[in-house]
Amino acid sequence: MQLLESFRDHRHVAGPDLEEAVAAKRTAAPALEVLRLLAHHRREMLVGAVENRSVVLFHRSLCYKTRAFWGYSRAWSPPARPRGRVSRTTMQISLTPDYSLLAILVIFVINYLVVRTFFLKPVNDVLEARDTETKTAEKLYEDAMARFQDATEKMETQLHAAKREAAHLRDRFRGEAGAQRQQMIDRTSGEAKQIVAEADEKLTSDVKVARDTIVRDSESLARLAAERILGRAV
């Protein structure tokens, strides 16, 4: 109540001042800014006072719950001025818990169930699902890598076998080609020798025929020259 009355007093005090300042200096921006800052400072002071009051109330309620939990015989009250000697009966602590302990336990269990149902369980489900997905992905990756390794080994085995077979075929074809080449060389050499022999024989016969022809022609020419020189037949 004191805070509300102080707030009302500040509001009634700041209201006319603000209206008078605005009415007197409508075009003075610095003055308005100063007034705004003052109003903001007052609001912060009021909010701080309210917060301090709330903290005090919370502290009192916490102390009350603590005393109720440990079984104090009387409720908590603000500390008063010492009036004299305090009796020992008022400061005795009851070790037997009262019904507030059961209420606190019930509230704790309810809070635990609520937190577990609406916070811990969904988070655990998400974490478990993520862990399951991770393990499944890792297993699929390992299986794929194993299949890839097996396929690679099979391909390498087939490649080595194909290379060996290609080497055997190459050697066989190379041997067959060498034999065929030798046969072709031998046949070509024989044919060449035969052609050369035939050409030599033909050339020899042609030379002989040409030689005989030259001899006959030379004899006839000599006889003709002698007849012309002598003027008679020889």
Asked if residue 81 belongs to a domain, the reply is: no
On whether the CB atoms of residues 18 and 35 are closer than 8 A, the answer is yes
Asked if residue 55 belongs to a domain, the reply is: yes
Burial class (CB in 10 A: 0-12, 13-18, 19+), 216: exposed
pLDDT at 10 over 50: no
On whether the CB atoms of residues 14 and 41 are closer than 8 A, the answer is no
**What is d(CA 125, CA 132) in angstroms, rounded to the nearest whole number?**
10
Asked if residue 90 belongs to a domain, the reply is: no
The mean per-residue pLDDT over the stretch 85-100 comes to 58
Range of the domain at 22: 1-75
pLDDT band at 141 (very low <50, low <70, confident <90, very high): very high
Asked if residue 60 belongs to a domain, the reply is: yes
| Count of the separate structural domains present in the chain | 1
> What one-character DSSP code corresponds to residue 28?
-
**pLDDT at 213 (0 to 100):** 85
pLDDT at 162 over 60: yes
**What is d(CA 210, CA 185) in angstroms, rounded to the nearest whole number?**
36
pLDDT at 192 over 70: yes
Asked if residue 18 belongs to a domain, the reply is: yes
**pLDDT at 110 (0 to 100):** 93
pTM of the predicted model as reported, rounded to 2 decimal places: 0.33
> Phi and psi dihedrals of 90, rounded to 5?
-75, -20
